[in-house]
Structure 1
Amino acid sequence: MDEAVLFETLKEYFGYEKFRPLQKKIISSVFEGKDNLVIMPTGGGKSICYQLPAILLPEITLVISPLIALMKDQVDGLNANGVPAAYLNSSQQESEKEAIFKQIDDKEIKLLYVAPESLQVVDRFLTDGKVSLIAIDEAHCISSWGHDFRPAYTQLGYLKNRFPSTPVLALTATADKATRNDICKQLNIPKAKKHIASFDRKNLSLEVKPGIKRFEQITDFLKSRKKESGIIYCLSRKTTEELAAKLKVKGFKAEAYHAGIEHDKRSNIQDDFINDEKKIICATIAFGMGIDKSNIRWVIHYNMPKNLEGYYQEIGRAGRDGLPSETLLFHSYSDVIQLQKFASNSKNEEVQLAKLDRMKQYSEALSCRRKILLGYFGEYIKEDCGNCDICKNPPEFFDGTVIAQKALSCIFRLKASEPISAVIDVLRGSQNELVRRNNYHELSTYGIGKDISWRHWQQYIIQLINLGYIEIAFDRNNHLQLTEQSKKVLFEKEKVYLADVKEEKETATREIEKTVSNSLFERLRQLRLEIAKEEGIPAYLIFNDAALKDMEKQRPMSDSEFLLINGVGRKKMEDYGYRFIKEIIAFSKEKREKKTVKKKKTGNTYKETLSYYKEGLSVEEIAQKKGIARNTIFTHLIKLYDEGEDVDLHQFVPGSELKSVEKAKTELNDTNSLRSYYEHFNEAIPYETLKIALKILEKEG
């Protein structure tokens, strides 16, 4: 395929000037008729790998997709870009299906989305040669090694037998080596070319916090993000509902979402989120795969996910427009226990437990989290990322031998019969019912760690578990017990180095609203929402946040300038360009008018100061009359003097001090730094006096 045609199609239909890494290579391979496996992270641009070839290929492209919502979203997006597409699934009436069959016969459709369960419906009218490309989205669903196995996908292997001369393109965001090989084997594409994109989503910040007072931490996090969309993932349906209810009480636009909610209500919740009517979704993992919302600014995991594949895919739903986005994971041992119970009921228990263990290691890491995450998918980086909590606040190690000895001795005295919370209670000398009932206050280790906070003890004990001195007996109600290695600390004087648990620093106060309500971005966002409601489609299908940010920066005021915005194709320029350009022009005009008014006001305030000065009022009296600071009046008088107005600055500087400043000017090599003069005079001459003296010397030579 001609390279120029590829770039023209990319700009015409998708609004982009250049391909993302690997896209062009994959598309060229498709045109060569080869089978391909694409591993590309969420937001990496997988869809274009089959959508662009579909526009240029002679026959229809068949797309296998697991969720109805995902199909609808993709088809709406394609139609908005001027690409004829449709979907077939069980939710449609027979009349709707027949109308689509007719469009296929008349070659009016370029892409047809089908659920794996509905493939037999398609079979009756498609033959080899009538299908130019088969794309299998979320291909990891075919493998029991994957994190989201779906039995319906296992039948897809027959497609290659049914359409032997048609290239197959399998796509997924997350798959380790075993899963990749299994996908190719089961789809009958053993010679498929593997394209593995970088998993490094640099725009996502990574943070893990202990699961203590989660609700309070979440509300603190959300206070400064009220205009941003985000997802909070929970392990249970009950938690999603309870959390959403508590957030509503606090004034947040939150909704619960899980498979137990009635279908129509679930669809409405999803639509409200997509259209920015609702900002927060508290969901089980059932939510997210079905949407392509590009402006999700944050993702929180209320509970720990069961594996790193699922975690990576879920955080990948944030920042798909490439703008900075935040992820926060709460980690607790109660989550680990719950997930272990889930794993013990699964068919591939051994695999699930091994993957859960990797997830746990990630959560408890004291080294760059991105390195751990990328390494899991076989990608290795040398430098620390600088955008995770560990990199931003690296731990300092200290000799924690005494702390370790206290903790290990306490577990020994408790005869390994209590979980972490009870061990800490005994160390800190708590007087609760558990302690009194079991006479733990009589132990020699009772209260030996009262000088260390509960949170710090928790962190130190977790580190000792990671270091192999303590283990959790999950089969004995999570009791802590000593390992053989602990004897070296207790009896052989082995040193233990622990990471210092820092108090959480007060971060610089964020602006309460990141997006200023009167900014151009906010105005364009409101216009986008208005158009979305008129057309009944999600707002981000019109333009994503990154495109609006580019408009705010570039301020296009003509069709040709508007076409240069990243994400604006010919059809979108024709459909929406006029209204967006009109809004940009109106905003720019208002800004100019405000600047003129401000200039006039500034001029007036200086004239007012001059008028009071000529009336003979002192600096203090002028400041009082105008209700502004004394040093601001001095600033006015210096400016008026500099502009040639009849202002005598000498009255504010004693002659001796003026001479001293003049002498200092020579000694300090004529520096303009007020701080240098202030320090030169050992802070004896005030800043105001220095400022005035330097202005006089400058003006009068």
Structure 2
Amino acid sequence: MSSTPDAPARPLARSAPAEVLHRVFGYDEFRGNQAEIIDHVSSGGDALVLMPTGGGKSLCYQIPALVRRGTGIVISPLIALMQDQVDALSAVGVRAAYLNSTQTPDAKAAVERAYLAGELDLLYLAPERLRVQSTAALLDRGEMALFAIDEAHCVSQWGHDFRPDYLQLSVLHERWPTVPRIALTATATEQTHAEIAQRLQLGEAKHFVASFDRPNIQYRIASKNSPQQQLLQLVRSEHDGDAGIVYCLSRASVEKTAQMLVDNGIPALPYHAGLPAPVRAANQSRFLREDGIIMVATIAFGMGIDKPDVRFVAHLDLPKSVEGYYQETGRAGRDGLPSTAWLAYGLQDVVQQRRMIADSEGDNAHRRKLSAHLDAMLALCETVECRRVQLLAYFGETSTACGNCDTCLSPPESIDGTIAAQKLLSTVVRLQRERNQKFGAGQLIDILLGKRTPRVEQNGHDNLSTFGIGGELSEPEWRGVVRQLLAQGLLQVNSDGFGTLVITDDSAAVLSGARKVSLRREPDRPAKKASRTARGASAELPAGATPLFEKLRAWRAAEAKEQGVPAYVIFHDATLREIATGTPGTLAELGTVSGVGESKLEKYGQKLLDAISAA
């Protein structure tokens, strides 16, 4: 139902969880530990759930809300997406609505009446509404089935999505101690996990931690070299016509990259906090509702995006933390189809991030935490081992080499880089001690390569003992050495604001020969790419089923446009693929397809059969 529930859908009979799963959502079995979580919450227990994006978190509170008496109250920070969440539930016959600051007084009043009359199964609230006394009074007057705290990592003050309003959600337990609570997030280290439990008073709750592995995502990190052209090559060679998200650090980079894609005939839209709110809303709506749109954005975009067919997520700048990287890349491949997580990473990324930390507000403890986050991200970028093993280990999960990331498909070589490190560090030392000078990477490399540039000759750097001693490596290779020494803490960015480099306390052991330095050497050949035959919406379809699948997608697009909802609210690609492959001929056969529940069968069943027979 809509946010103004003038005509409530018929009440859903309170049933066993498995029966609700099949009848309402059209699925025959639970995944992972969904069944255990749902049974626990349905029985009145509190739960803290850590489950990856695409793992089915929403069902973990939606089904208990349908099983228990009363209305499930969902606390979500995603005001801009509440309408889509409600539309998706309405499509399967669930009576859902929301209360937030975007509504008119009449719309809010209609939702409040529906809640008090017991005509809502789920009610979505933004966390700041709980600060309003009238909201708490409203909840008191109705019957609540449970509280679901979505995106629970927003409570972490050290996290990348911190929301101050989440800190006061402990009021739920204090004011309504008998109403079960379930907090859910798609990412959390052990530290964040503990912080969520402490701040939301969920220490006594049952904790469920699912595997963070997303085996359908291929993780690739490429050396940055003309990143916009690298992105263009990725899109054209592997993801032509696919929906994707491209993350950039700055608003200017977002605008420039989106325009570059458009200039090359690729539909792309910008999204960042500097755009007017109506433009952001319109761009988000197009991305959700149209096929094949690429959203170029800062990290202001993406949390709660439920679009299942995002085929790739690309980063043109280094993420600040592994948590952020995992959360952002997890927006690819929610439907389980092969997808790509691609990152362009270079020396300037490390310099820029180190400088941002040095200039950040807060005390030294805060900067140390930021540095620890960055160090973990750099370790993921520089590893010679399996990316997936390293990524999962960060979240405390043990795994084996995946065979489907760049380091598995084209293993890099670990080499003894001690001599190269000594040459570069010696150059830094000589500049500082003999000349009282500090320079950035470019000048250091020119000295090592023996380049007599005007800047080298003007400063007399061709007289340094290290001038020309680095000819065994190319300029890109030396940039890799600088990058890795920065990542290993053997070089640091000076605080002068000019990006100059200085040695660290750990550098002395390298210069004396007491410490060896291992460096990553990139493979001569690029990593294998995702197969073009194993990607996109028609992946894994028999050749004869593709025409029907495309006709079903066209029917779905027209239906979604008429209703003003995203296409995936009608049916996911996975459901249309199953229909195209099995070509059901009756409503009963159609009702056995995964994702076709009772409400959708009644609403769309005959239209689907007509589309199949007309194909």
Larger Rg over CA atoms: 1
Q: 2:305 aligns with which of 279, 291, 296?
A: 291
Pair 564,303 (structure 1): closer, same or farther in 2 beyond 3 Å = same
Query: For residues 502 and 140 of structure 1, what CA distance do their matches in structure 2 show?
Result: 37
Deviates more, 1:404-413 or 1:66-75: 404-413
Residue by residue over 1:649-695, the C-alpha shift from the partner in whole angstroms, topping out at 9 and shown as x without a partner, is: xxxxxxxxxxxxxxxxxxxxxxxxxxxxxxxxxxxxxxxxxxxxxxx
Shift in Å, 1:58: 1.4
2:444 matches 1:390: no
2:175 matches 1:175: no
Partner of residue 263, structure 1: 277
Query: For residues 287 and 102 of structure 1, what CA distance do their matches in structure 2 show?
Result: 33
Partner of residue 554, structure 1: 582
Shift in Å, 1:529: 1.2
Deviates more, 1:442-451 or 1:73-82: 442-451
Counterpart contact for 1:427–1:450, Cα < 8 Å: yes
Counterpart contact for 2:128–2:165, Cα < 8 Å: yes
Query: For residues 64 and 276 of structure 2, what CA distance do their matches in structure 1 show?
Result: 38
Q: Give structure 2 stretches of 5+ with no counterpart.
A: 1-12
With the length of structure 1 as denominator, give the TM-score of the two structures: 0.77
Pair 363,85 (structure 1): closer, same or farther in 2 beyond 3 Å = same
Shift in Å, 1:534: 1.3
Q: In structure 2, what residue type is equivalent to 1:363?
A: C
Kindly report which structure 2 residues correspond to 1:453-464, keeping only aligned pairs within 5 A, or say none. 453-464=474-485
Partner of residue 96, structure 1: 107
2:361 matches 1:345: yes
Counterpart contact for 1:129–1:166, Cα < 8 Å: no
Counterpart contact for 1:69–1:290, Cα < 8 Å: no
Pair 64,483 (structure 1): closer, same or farther in 2 beyond 3 Å = closer
Shift in Å, 1:159: 1.3
Partner of residue 67, structure 1: 78
Deviates more, 1:332-341 or 1:168-177: 332-341
Counterpart contact for 1:209–1:330, Cα < 8 Å: yes
Pair 81,247 (structure 1): closer, same or farther in 2 beyond 3 Å = same
Pair 444,188 (structure 1): closer, same or farther in 2 beyond 3 Å = closer
Counterpart contact for 2:350–2:486, Cα < 8 Å: no
2:595 matches 1:567: yes
Deviates more, 1:446-455 or 1:292-301: 446-455
2:552 matches 1:524: yes
Partner of residue 223, structure 1: 236
2:562 matches 1:545: no
With the length of structure 2 as denominator, give the TM-score of the two structures: 0.88
Q: 1:309 aligns with which of 320, 323, 334?
A: 323
Counterpart contact for 1:547–1:567, Cα < 8 Å: yes
Kindly report which structure 2 residues correspond to 1:166-245, keeping only aligned pairs within 5 A, or say none. 166-224=179-237, 225-245=239-259
Q: In structure 2, what residue type is equivalent to 1:369?
A: R
Shift in Å, 1:465: 4.8
Shift in Å, 1:540: 1.0
Pair 515,4 (structure 1): closer, same or farther in 2 beyond 3 Å = closer
Aligned-residue identity in percent? 43
Query: For residues 515 and 292 of structure 1, what CA distance do their matches in structure 2 show?
Result: 16
Partner of residue 646, structure 1: none
Q: Give structure 1 stretches of 5+ with no counterpart.
A: 588-701
2:40 matches 1:12: no
Q: In structure 2, what residue type is equivalent to 1:154?
A: L
Q: In structure 2, what residue type is equivalent to 1:40?
A: M
Shift in Å, 1:112: 0.4
Q: In structure 2, what residue type is equivalent to 1:475?
A: S
Q: 1:475 aligns with which of 495, 505, 519?
A: 495
Query: For residues 453 and 3 of structure 1, what CA distance do their matches in structure 2 show?
Result: 69
Query: For residues 536 and 32 of structure 2, what CA distance do their matches in structure 1 show?
Result: 31
Kindly report which structure 2 residues correspond to 1:246-645, keeping only aligned pairs within 5 A, or say none. 246-276=260-290, 279-343=293-357, 344-346=360-362, 348-381=366-399, 383-398=400-415, 400=417, 403-404=420-421, 406-415=423-432, 417-450=438-471, 452-465=473-486, 470-476=490-496, 477-482=498-503, 498-505=519-526, 511=532, 519-587=547-615
Query: For residues 322 and 432 of structure 1, what CA distance do their matches in structure 2 show?
Result: 53
Query: For residues 579 and 157 of structure 1, what CA distance do their matches in structure 2 show?
Result: 48
Query: For residues 416 and 356 of structure 2, what CA distance do their matches in structure 1 show?
Result: 39
Shift in Å, 1:129: 7.4
Pair 346,237 (structure 1): closer, same or farther in 2 beyond 3 Å = farther
How much is the aligned-residue C-alpha RMSD, in angstroms? 2.8
Partner of residue 122, structure 1: 135
* Higher RCO (CA < 8 A, seq sep 6+): 2
Counterpart contact for 1:128–1:162, Cα < 8 Å: no
Shift in Å, 1:269: 0.5
Query: For residues 57 and 490 of structure 1, what CA distance do their matches in structure 2 show?
Result: 68
Residue by residue over 1:118-173, the C-alpha shift from the partner in whole angstroms, topping out at 9 and shown as x without a partner, is: 22343222228711111111112123133322111122111112211110111111
Pair 566,422 (structure 1): closer, same or farther in 2 beyond 3 Å = farther
Shift in Å, 1:493: 9.5
Query: For residues 155 and 416 of structure 2, what CA distance do their matches in structure 1 show?
Result: 50
Pair 429,60 (structure 1): closer, same or farther in 2 beyond 3 Å = same
Counterpart contact for 1:515–1:522, Cα < 8 Å: no
Counterpart contact for 2:118–2:143, Cα < 8 Å: no
Residue by residue over 1:89-142, the C-alpha shift from the partner in whole angstroms, topping out at 9 and shown as x without a partner, is: 011011111111121222211100011122234322222871111111111212
Pair 400,118 (structure 1): closer, same or farther in 2 beyond 3 Å = closer
